[in-house]
Amino acid sequence: MQRARPVYNNAGDFLLVVAVDSFSFPSGHAARAMFLALYALVWLQQGSQMAWAVPIIVWGLATAFSRCLMGRHFLGDVLAGLLVGVLTTAVVTQGTFALGGLWIPAAQASALHAHIMDQIHALMPQRL
């Protein structure tokens, strides 16, 4: 759907941001924030780190609803984006919202993550 952004959206307040599109529905930021928050919770379930659950969900929701406060989206755009994030997490975990449901086994995902982090660290300049 190609709904225009709110009329109170000030496109001139971007300093170093390039707008990908000028449409509002659904909110991609809300979708990505909710997916990342839920996916992080999926990984945190394996340990005793569930104390992070509330801050992670608050971050995801704050990111999503900040889009309304900044005038970038309507409330419905953000709610639809949140739903897209939840559905994306459901697809990735095959509806289980648990590590056992991941399309890629957890051990393989952990190995891939470690490899990516090694590559990132290799590219970073050494500290003196």
Give catalytic residues, as residue numbers: 29, 73
Rounded to whole angstroms, how far apart are CA atoms 85 and 34? Answer: 5
Both tokens of 78, joined, read 């953000």
Residue 23, phi then psi, degrees to nearest 5 = -100, 160
Rounded-to-integer distance, Cα 117 and Cα 111, Å: 10
Q: Which two tokens mark 118? A: 């090694």
d(CA 94, CA 113): 20
Q: Which tokens is 44 given? A: 């945190």
